[in-house]
Amino acid sequence: MYRERTATVATDRGDGPTVVFAHGTLMDRTMFEPQLAALSDEYRCVAYDLRARTDRYADEYDLDDLADDYAAVLDGLDIDSAVLVGMSMGGFTALRAAERHPDRVDGIVLVDSDAGTHSEEDRQQYRMLIDRLKDVGHATDASIEVARHQLFGETTHEQHPTLVDQWARTWETYPGLAVHNEMASWLDREDFTETARTLDVPALVTHGEEDVSIAMEKAEATADALDAELVRIPEAGHSSNLENPEATNAALREFLDGL
């Protein structure tokens, strides 16, 4: 554990080539515990909290800032470069880190993420939601229900409801401003698809077959832009690495072992 100039807390486990994990919106570094447990036998695995889960949550920032934070995390841990695994918002960050810091990114893995943008209708709905959270100052019952639906798939709701409940209780503790700024960091992002085609970096895309937040078609387009393999994760939604860790871990290990 450490606290550096980015006010970031990280879990650092194992030895070997380094793999860094960046979480998605409403999540934190603990969402990658199944991956750290599975991969730290051969790899140095680092999962860190992005700004929304730190004491810098009130600062306004964008995805470029988060990409620069990744480089700062490496500096704080004396790491030259790493494979960056990003879930959702973490994937948006990974793409931009590969562009801004190519010498520090050995590969990228996008977990339930994509290089495109949200529709204007989705943006308007998200904007109304986060403005409400900012005004109220904390999560509302309505916002938590939306998150339950968006972040977990049907199979998880049916077979592992305690996992959903656990995260819902965590969301209740977040300051409304933290969630507002977290979502605002990516809500109006520009389409990165054409830039992704220019990235000279090994890539893997994994995507839950039950993901309702980002459609599989977007994952397919992103994999095509990156010239990457797309691995579909069955019985999993937007948090597929948590919902079906076995399938995710197998895809990650095959990708990492091949680098």
Q: Could you report the per-residue pLDDT of 176-190, keeping only the tens digit for each?
A: 999 999 999 999 999
How far is the CA of 24 from the CAs of 48, 140, 176, 198, in angstroms?
11, 20, 16, 24
Shortest CA distance to 67 belongs to which of 167, 195, 179, 173?
195
pTM of the model: 0.95
pLDDT tens digit string along 209-235?
999 999 999 999 999 999 999 999 999
Shortest CA distance to 23 belongs to which of 105, 99, 111?
111
What angle separates helix 176-187 from helix 120-136, to the nearest 10 degrees? 160
What angle separates helix 89-100 from helix 63-76, to the nearest 10 degrees? 70
pLDDT tens digit string along 127-155?
998 999 889 999 889 899 999 999 999 99
**pLDDT for the residue numbered 8:** 66
Please name the CATH architecture into which domain 10-118+190-257 falls. Answer: 3-Layer(aba) Sandwich (3.40)
CB 126 within 8 A of CB 118: yes
CB 25 within 8 A of CB 182: yes
Average pLDDT over residues 107-111: 99
**pLDDT for the residue numbered 4:** 35
pLDDT tens digit string along 87-96?
999 999 999 9
**pLDDT for the residue numbered 7:** 46
Residues with Cβ within 8 Å of 91's Cβ and at least 6 positions away in sequence, in order, are: 22, 24, 108, 110, 111, 112, 113, 114
CB 133 within 8 A of CB 139: yes
Domains of the chain, by residue range, sit at: 10-118+190-257
pLDDT above 70 as % of the chain:
97
Average pLDDT, the chain: 95
Strand 203-208: give its sheet, edge to edge. 10-13, 44-48, 18-22, 82-87, 105-111, 203-208, 229-233
